Amino acid sequence: MGTKHTMALLGLLTLLVCELVTVVNSNRDEALRIMEKTPVIDGHNDLPWQLLSKFNNQLSKVNLSILSDTHTNIPKLREGKVGAQFWAAYVPCDTQGKDAVKRTLEQIDIVNRMCEGYPDDFLCVNSAAGIEDAFRSKKVASLIGVEGGHSIDSSLGALRTFYNLGVRYMTLTHSCNVPWVDNWLVDTGSDPAKSNGLSEFGKTVIFEMNRLGIMVDLAHVSVKTMKDALEASQAPVIFSHSSAYKLCKHARNVPDDVLEIVKAKKGLVMVNFYNNYVTCSNKANLSDVADHFDHIKSIAGIESVGFGGDYDGVPRVPEGLEDVSKYPDLVAELLRRGWTATELEKALANNLLRVFKEVEQTSMRLKSEKPRDEPIAYKEIQSDCHTSYGYPTGTAAHLYAGTGLLLMSVSYALFF
């Protein structure tokens, strides 16, 4: 090839590269413009767990403006145009039946202290209107999601107390069964089914969540539990950090038949960025994540897709989505794929706001209903870590079935 032809080819390649860079920059500029108006609401971030594991919740020893060994800090949130974040109040499954409630209270406390310690950046809110207020004030709306039904220790009273402390979603399980609901490992054969989805007490938990105004989160549950909860809930449900099973056949992801029910029930699947749930391997990239957005949109509709990065809760994230600052790059990729500004505004924030408002409306409708107060059967929670106060057990059970006079006599002897 002659020198002239070589120079011409190099010139053409340079022109093509320049045009490509221009398109990429244009998409990112448009993404930033859209997100300035409609910042992202992310469904799940485990920074509170990092604060526990690294600092034992001693926020006085942390500077969230310069924290460098996490996916999340304040400058990264600002750069990523994060307008609202559900912070996970997560405690591991080995706290179940032990100190799960206490440990969860501590994680709720750390979120509230983040807002108190950084009032110019975080605004703790507990309603859809609160999120919109935070958007207007250019602060990160901070909400609490309890990650795992083991955190309430099968107590409806604990559930109600968590609501009063600001909890606005609860993931029904983590990676363990609780006495009233099955987790995703049941579908792998690693855990035996206990409730065959959702038990009768589990349905009572769902009702009470609907009555209170706590979103039902189906990340981490078995497929049978997904379907049972979608049937039982009177309000739309969310998957706060799950992806599409069709693209990665991992049991943490959502199958197409469930996505179709989500569409019918007007729920929301917030796409998880963890490599193992994106490609079912250790490696993934931003484009692979965008594929999940495309697929969920194609099956469940644009009204049912959102963002649930799972940052600071996973060991690996995709190339191009290394931390929370990278959301605009993902939005730019979706623009490149033909998503409209209106569609992106729905996925970024408006879908979650719609679901949240419908959950709040359902709560208002159910306010005339009395709180459910029938406790779970003691045999379901019996252990050395659980007392039996209020339950008739052993000799007391026999006396409970006898005369009131005998029961009163025994009580008098025991306590006086």
pLDDT band (50, 70, 90) for residue 147: very high
Cα separation of 408 and 202, whole Å? 34
Mean pLDDT calculated for residue range 104-127: 98
pLDDT band (50, 70, 90) for residue 9: low
Is residue 241 annotated as a catalytic residue, yes or no?
A: yes
Task: Please pick, among 44, 250, 292, 295, the residue that the annotation labels catalytic.
Answer: 44
Tokens describing residue 247: 């693209």
Is residue 250 annotated as a catalytic residue, yes or no?
A: no
**Dihedrals φ, ψ of 147, to 5°?**
-100, 85
Tens digits of residue pLDDT in 210-261: 999 999 999 999 999 999 999 999 999 999 999 999 999 999 999 999 999 9
The radius of gyration of the chain's CA atoms, rounded to the nearest angstrom, is 24
Task: Please pick, among 71, 150, 220, 292, the residue that the annotation labels catalytic.
Answer: 220
Residue 129 has pLDDT above 50, yes or no: yes
Is residue 398 annotated as a catalytic residue, yes or no?
A: no
Mean pLDDT calculated for residue range 283-297: 98
Contacts of residue 27, defined as CB under 8 A and 6 or more positions apart, other chains included, come to: 332, 333, 335, 336
Long-range contacts made by residues 383-392, C-beta under 8 angstroms, separation at least 24? Answer: 383/97, 385/97, 385/98, 386/97
Strands 167-171 and 82-89: unpaired
Task: Please pick, among 46, 217, 303, 333, the residue that the annotation labels catalytic.
Answer: 46
In the block, residue with structure tokens 């469940």 = 300
Cα separation of 297 and 303, whole Å? 8
Is residue 147 annotated as a catalytic residue, yes or no?
A: yes
Task: Please pick, among 288, 303, 310, 343, the residue that the annotation labels catalytic.
Answer: 310
Residue 329 has pLDDT above 50, yes or no: yes
Cβ neighbours around 152 below 10 Å, total: 24
Lowest mean pLDDT among 177-186, 240-249, 400-409: 400-409
Mean pLDDT calculated for residue range 187-209: 98
Is residue 44 annotated as a catalytic residue, yes or no?
A: yes
Give the pLDDT confidence score for residue 25 in this predicted structure. Answer: 82
Full-prediction pTM beyond 0.85?
A: yes
Judge whether 100 and 150 are in contact, CB under 8 Å: yes
Residue 139 has pLDDT above 50, yes or no: yes
Task: Please pick, among 71, 150, 174, 250, the residue that the annotation labels catalytic.
Answer: 174
- Please give the distance of CA 372 from its chain centroid, rounded to a whole number: 25
Cβ neighbours around 117 below 10 Å, total: 15
Cβ neighbours around 135 below 10 Å, total: 20
Tokens describing residue 237: 């449900």
Tens digits of residue pLDDT in 291-323: 999 999 999 999 999 999 999 999 999 999 999
Give the chain's mean pLDDT. Answer: 92
Separation in Å, CA 201 to CA 65, 93, 179, 374, 378: 44, 20, 9, 9, 12
* Paired strand residues for 89: 146
Cα separation of 203 and 168, whole Å? 18
Residue 14 has pLDDT above 80, yes or no: no
In the block, residue with structure tokens 């730019």 = 332
Task: Please pick, among 42, 71, 121, 147, the residue that the annotation labels catalytic.
Answer: 147
Task: Please pick, among 71, 187, 228, 241, the residue that the annotation labels catalytic.
Answer: 241
Is residue 150 annotated as a catalytic residue, yes or no?
A: no
Is residue 374 annotated as a catalytic residue, yes or no?
A: no
pLDDT band (50, 70, 90) for residue 22: low
